[in-house]
């Protein structure tokens, strides 16, 4: 099926108004393009939960710092549209920049809680302001019933869930398990930056936090498990931003026995920053 490609809010609303008039339920899957099977899994899950699925493609300048990779972020609109169509997507919204940031645009939301957990926010201070601004706009512009987000970006999933709840945006935010390469590396649009030897090394991030989770389940204390995991990654040549275990819902440091836990990590290989996380 060929999905309908729309670039303006007016065209988007014409389609969604028709769906609403027909009583259809629809999902949205926000992306920055460079579509891979992690993204198409969001579409597949959307199809299970709704009658129609919209994917959005917008490389959001506001979530990149000046020194980050906005200029070289992979772009392939034609390939993206084909892959999203094959996945069963009904409509693709590729907003013209002025639909997101019209002249004079100056409003953002102030974030707290999981957005201030000292994880991505510590190393990419502009990131969640940018993400939530565009995501809030996409939620409101599409008016979708549910939104699909990957657990790969675990803090983002929690931040967006909290924002929708706190601002009474009537949308159900659904988390989708991380889609991985055969060796365990989380699929990511940025994996193309890895050299061949780095690609080989990269799989260690998932195995290291996986082993840490096993050790915690086996009774090792959290601090020792995290120290061991950090040392392992450093010894393998990673530059580590963080490896930490948090409450799986609030992302606050664990307080008591029995609470749900998540291990989250971010580390660099050369010029590529990798993130990953696993449940304990
Ligand atoms: P991105 O285009 O990388 O900003 O990601 C768009 C959406 O796809 C986000 O909700 C991501 O969490 C999700 N996503 C990216 N990679 C994966 C993956 N490997 N598995 C599951 N979801 C993913």
pLDDT digits (tens, 9 = 90+) for 246-260: 999 999 999 998 899
- For residue 179, which atom of ligand 1 is closest to its CA? 20
* Tokens found for residue 76: 């392939």
CB of residue 155 inside a 6 A radius of ligand 1: no
CA distances from 97 to 9, 162, 274 (A): 11, 26, 28
Q: What is the DSSP string of 61-130?
A: GGGS-TTSSTTTS---HHHHHHHHHHTT-SEEE---HHHHS-TT----PPP-GGGGSSSHHHH-TTHHHH
Mean pLDDT over 12-17 rounds to: 98
- Counting every residue written for the chain, the total comes to 280
CB of residue 186 inside a 6 A radius of ligand 1: yes
Distance, CA 192 to ligand 1 centroid (Å)? 15
The confidence score (pLDDT) of residue 1 equals 73
Active site residue 39: yes
Say if residues 265 and 209 touch (Cβ distance below 8 Å): yes
Q: What does the alpha-carbon distance between residue 161 and residue 126 come to, in Å, rounded to a whole number?
A: 19
pLDDT digits (tens, 9 = 90+) for 120-177: 999 999 999 999 999 999 999 999 999 999 999 999 999 999 999 999 999 999 999 9
The confidence score (pLDDT) of residue 101 equals 96
pLDDT digits (tens, 9 = 90+) for 198-243: 999 999 999 999 999 999 999 999 999 999 999 999 999 999 999 9
CB of residue 85 inside a 6 A radius of ligand 1: no
Say if residues 274 and 187 touch (Cβ distance below 8 Å): no
């Amino acid at each position: 099926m060929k999905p309908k490609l729309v670039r303006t809010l007016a065209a988007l609303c014409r389609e969604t108004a028709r769906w609403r008039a027909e009583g259809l339920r629809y999902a949205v899957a926000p992306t920055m393009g460079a579509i891979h099977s992690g993204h198409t899994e969001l579409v597949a899950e959307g199809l299970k939960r709704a009658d129609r699925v919209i994917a959005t493609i917008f490389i959001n300048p506001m979530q990149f710092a000046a020194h980050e990779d906005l200029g070289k972020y992979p772009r392939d609109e034609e390939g993206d549209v084909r892959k999203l169509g094959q996945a069963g997507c009904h409509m693709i919204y590729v907003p013209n920049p002025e639909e997101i940031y019209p002249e004079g645009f100056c409003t953002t939301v102030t974030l707290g809680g999981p957005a201030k957990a000292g994880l991505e926010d510590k190393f990419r201070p502009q990131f969640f302001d940018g993400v939530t601004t565009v995501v809030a706009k996409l939620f409101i512009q599409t008016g979708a019933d549910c939104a699909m987000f990957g657990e790969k970006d675990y803090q983002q999933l929690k931040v967006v869930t909290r924002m929708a709840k706190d601002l009474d945006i009537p949308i159900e935010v659904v988390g989708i398990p991380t889609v991985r390469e055969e060796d365990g590396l989380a699929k990511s649009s940025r994996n193309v930056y890895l050299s061949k030897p780095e690609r080989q090394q990269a799989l260690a991030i998932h195995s290291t936090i996986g082993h840490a989770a096993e050790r915690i389940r086996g009774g090792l204390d959290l601090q020792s498990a995290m120290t061991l995991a950090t040392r392992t990654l450093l010894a393998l040549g990673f530059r580590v931003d963080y490896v930490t275990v948090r409450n799986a819902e609030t992302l606050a440091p664990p307080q008591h026995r029995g609470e749900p836990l998540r291990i989250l990590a971010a580390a660099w290989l050369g010029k590529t920053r990798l993130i990953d996380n696993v449940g304990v």
